[in-house]
Protein backbone atom coordinates (compact mmCIF):
# COMPACT_ATOMS: atom_id res chain seq x y z
CA UNK A 1 0.00 0.00 0.00
CA UNK A 2 1.25 3.44 -0.85
CA UNK A 3 1.29 6.36 1.54
CA UNK A 4 -1.46 7.91 -0.58
CA UNK A 5 -3.95 5.05 -0.28
CA UNK A 6 -7.42 6.23 -1.24
CA UNK A 7 -10.25 5.81 1.28
CA UNK A 8 -12.66 2.99 0.53
CA UNK A 9 -15.42 4.14 -1.80
CA UNK A 10 -19.03 3.10 -1.94
CA UNK A 11 -19.68 0.17 -4.30
CA UNK A 12 -22.59 0.01 -6.75
CA UNK A 13 -24.09 -3.21 -8.09
CA UNK A 14 -25.90 -3.62 -11.41
CA UNK A 15 -27.54 -6.94 -12.31
CA UNK A 16 -28.73 -8.21 -15.69
CA UNK A 17 -29.88 -11.59 -17.01
CA UNK A 18 -29.15 -12.83 -20.51
CA UNK A 19 -30.76 -15.78 -22.28
CA UNK A 20 -27.49 -17.04 -23.71
CA UNK A 21 -24.84 -19.63 -22.86
CA UNK A 22 -22.24 -18.37 -20.37
CA UNK A 23 -19.51 -19.12 -22.95
CA UNK A 24 -21.08 -16.64 -25.38
CA UNK A 25 -21.44 -13.89 -22.76
CA UNK A 26 -17.87 -14.49 -21.53
CA UNK A 27 -16.50 -14.28 -25.09
CA UNK A 28 -18.06 -10.82 -25.54
CA UNK A 29 -16.15 -9.60 -22.43
CA UNK A 30 -12.83 -11.26 -23.27
CA UNK A 31 -12.13 -10.89 -27.01
CA UNK A 32 -11.28 -7.89 -29.20
CA UNK A 33 -14.26 -8.52 -31.48
CA UNK A 34 -16.57 -9.06 -28.53
CA UNK A 35 -15.52 -5.91 -26.69
CA UNK A 36 -15.74 -3.76 -29.83
CA UNK A 37 -19.29 -5.05 -30.50
CA UNK A 38 -20.85 -3.52 -27.37
CA UNK A 39 -18.43 -1.66 -25.07
CA UNK A 40 -19.07 2.04 -24.60
CA UNK A 41 -22.24 3.98 -23.86
CA UNK A 42 -24.75 4.91 -26.55
CA UNK A 43 -23.28 7.29 -29.11
CA UNK A 44 -19.72 6.04 -28.66
CA UNK A 45 -17.65 3.36 -30.40
CA UNK A 46 -14.66 1.45 -29.09
CA UNK A 47 -11.55 0.20 -30.88
CA UNK A 48 -9.33 -2.24 -28.99
CA UNK A 49 -5.61 -1.49 -29.48
CA UNK A 50 -4.23 -4.16 -27.15
CA UNK A 51 -5.76 -7.05 -25.23
CA UNK A 52 -3.83 -9.36 -22.92
CA UNK A 53 -6.66 -11.13 -21.14
CA UNK A 54 -5.22 -12.64 -17.95
CA UNK A 55 -4.65 -11.55 -14.36
CA UNK A 56 -2.00 -8.82 -14.66
CA UNK A 57 -2.82 -8.31 -18.34
CA UNK A 58 -4.20 -5.15 -19.90
CA UNK A 59 -6.83 -3.89 -22.27
CA UNK A 60 -6.00 -0.65 -24.07
CA UNK A 61 -8.85 0.86 -26.07
CA UNK A 62 -9.93 4.13 -27.63
CA UNK A 63 -13.50 5.33 -27.16
CA UNK A 64 -14.79 7.92 -29.60
CA UNK A 65 -17.96 9.99 -29.52
CA UNK A 66 -19.82 9.29 -32.77
CA UNK A 67 -23.35 10.65 -32.24
CA UNK A 68 -24.14 14.39 -32.42
CA UNK A 69 -25.40 14.70 -28.81
CA UNK A 70 -22.33 12.95 -27.40
CA UNK A 71 -19.95 14.97 -29.60
CA UNK A 72 -21.65 18.17 -28.38
CA UNK A 73 -21.44 17.05 -24.71
CA UNK A 74 -17.73 16.24 -25.02
CA UNK A 75 -16.94 19.57 -26.69
CA UNK A 76 -18.92 21.58 -24.09
CA UNK A 77 -17.17 19.70 -21.26
CA UNK A 78 -13.77 20.51 -22.77
CA UNK A 79 -13.06 16.82 -23.32
CA UNK A 80 -11.51 15.24 -26.43
CA UNK A 81 -13.83 13.32 -28.79
CA UNK A 82 -11.58 10.25 -28.46
CA UNK A 83 -9.99 9.08 -25.22
CA UNK A 84 -7.73 6.11 -24.64
CA UNK A 85 -8.39 3.98 -21.59
CA UNK A 86 -6.27 1.35 -19.91
CA UNK A 87 -7.89 -1.53 -18.04
CA UNK A 88 -5.72 -3.78 -15.86
CA UNK A 89 -7.17 -7.22 -15.14
CA UNK A 90 -6.58 -8.18 -11.51
CA UNK A 91 -8.48 -11.49 -11.29
CA UNK A 92 -9.76 -13.86 -13.97
CA UNK A 93 -11.74 -17.02 -13.22
CA UNK A 94 -12.89 -18.35 -16.62
CA UNK A 95 -16.68 -18.31 -17.11
CA UNK A 96 -17.16 -17.14 -13.50
CA UNK A 97 -15.56 -13.78 -12.66
CA UNK A 98 -13.30 -11.05 -13.90
CA UNK A 99 -12.02 -8.09 -11.94
CA UNK A 100 -10.28 -5.05 -13.34
CA UNK A 101 -9.23 -1.52 -12.54
CA UNK A 102 -9.52 1.39 -14.90
CA UNK A 103 -8.10 4.88 -14.51
CA UNK A 104 -10.58 7.73 -14.47
CA UNK A 105 -8.10 10.12 -16.05
CA UNK A 106 -10.39 11.91 -18.49
CA UNK A 107 -12.35 14.21 -16.17
CA UNK A 108 -11.41 17.89 -16.51
CA UNK A 109 -10.14 19.36 -13.23
CA UNK A 110 -10.09 16.01 -11.36
CA UNK A 111 -6.88 14.16 -10.49
CA UNK A 112 -6.80 10.67 -12.03
CA UNK A 113 -7.95 7.82 -9.80
CA UNK A 114 -8.57 4.09 -10.19
CA UNK A 115 -12.05 2.58 -10.43
CA UNK A 116 -12.33 -1.14 -9.57
CA UNK A 117 -14.95 -3.29 -11.28
CA UNK A 118 -15.93 -6.93 -10.71
CA UNK A 119 -18.11 -8.85 -13.15
CA UNK A 120 -19.60 -12.16 -11.97
CA UNK A 121 -21.20 -14.65 -14.35
CA UNK A 122 -23.74 -16.96 -12.67
CA UNK A 123 -25.12 -19.74 -14.85
CA UNK A 124 -28.88 -20.18 -14.47
CA UNK A 125 -31.37 -22.51 -16.19
CA UNK A 126 -32.38 -19.50 -18.37
CA UNK A 127 -28.83 -18.44 -19.25
CA UNK A 128 -26.57 -16.06 -17.33
CA UNK A 129 -27.13 -13.70 -14.42
CA UNK A 130 -24.43 -11.05 -14.63
CA UNK A 131 -23.56 -9.03 -11.54
CA UNK A 132 -21.36 -5.98 -12.13
CA UNK A 133 -19.99 -4.19 -9.06
CA UNK A 134 -18.05 -0.96 -9.39
CA UNK A 135 -16.55 1.76 -7.24
CA UNK A 136 -18.51 4.99 -6.97
CA UNK A 137 -16.90 7.87 -8.82
CA UNK A 138 -15.52 11.03 -7.15
CA UNK A 139 -18.95 12.68 -6.90
CA UNK A 140 -22.62 11.79 -7.21
CA UNK A 141 -23.09 13.29 -10.71
CA UNK A 142 -20.21 11.27 -12.19
CA UNK A 143 -21.39 8.16 -10.31
CA UNK A 144 -24.85 8.56 -11.89
CA UNK A 145 -23.25 8.97 -15.34
CA UNK A 146 -21.10 5.85 -14.79
CA UNK A 147 -24.14 3.78 -13.74
CA UNK A 148 -26.14 5.13 -16.70
CA UNK A 149 -23.24 4.34 -19.04
CA UNK A 150 -22.96 0.76 -17.76
CA UNK A 151 -26.73 0.40 -18.12
CA UNK A 152 -26.50 1.47 -21.77
CA UNK A 153 -23.51 -0.83 -22.35
CA UNK A 154 -25.30 -3.84 -20.86
CA UNK A 155 -28.30 -3.01 -23.07
CA UNK A 156 -25.97 -3.07 -26.08
CA UNK A 157 -24.56 -6.39 -24.84
CA UNK A 158 -28.10 -7.82 -24.68
CA UNK A 159 -28.74 -6.75 -28.30
CA UNK A 160 -25.52 -8.45 -29.47
CA UNK A 161 -26.60 -11.65 -27.69
CA UNK A 162 -30.10 -11.70 -29.26
CA UNK A 163 -30.37 -14.29 -32.03
CA UNK A 164 -30.92 -12.59 -35.38
| Residue 94, pLDDT score | 97
Choose the CATH number for 11-161 among 3.40.50.720, 3.40.50.300, 3.40.50.150, 3.30.530.20: 3.30.530.20
Q: Per residue of the chain (164 residues), what is the pLDDT tens digit? A: 444 455 567 899 999 999 999 999 999 999 999 999 999 888 999 999 999 999 999 999 999 999 899 889 889 888 889 989 999 999 999 999 999 999 888 777 889 889 999 999 999 999 999 999 999 988 888 889 889 989 999 999 999 998 65
| Residue 3, pLDDT score | 43
Neighbours of 4 (CB within 10 A): 5
pTM listed for this prediction: 0.85
| Residue 152, pLDDT score | 92
The residue among 158, 163, 164 whose CA lies nearest residue 38 is 158
| Residue 112, pLDDT score | 86
Give the whole-angstrom CA distance, residue 33 versus residue 144: 28
The set of residues, in sequence order, having a beta carbon less than 8 Å from that of 63 and lying 6+ positions away, is 39, 40, 44, 45, 46, 82, 83, 85
Amino acid sequence: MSAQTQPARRRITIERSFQAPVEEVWKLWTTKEGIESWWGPDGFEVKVHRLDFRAGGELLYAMSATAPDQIDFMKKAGMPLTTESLVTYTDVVPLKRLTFTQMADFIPGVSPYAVATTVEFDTTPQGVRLVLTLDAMHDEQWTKMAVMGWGQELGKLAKVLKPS
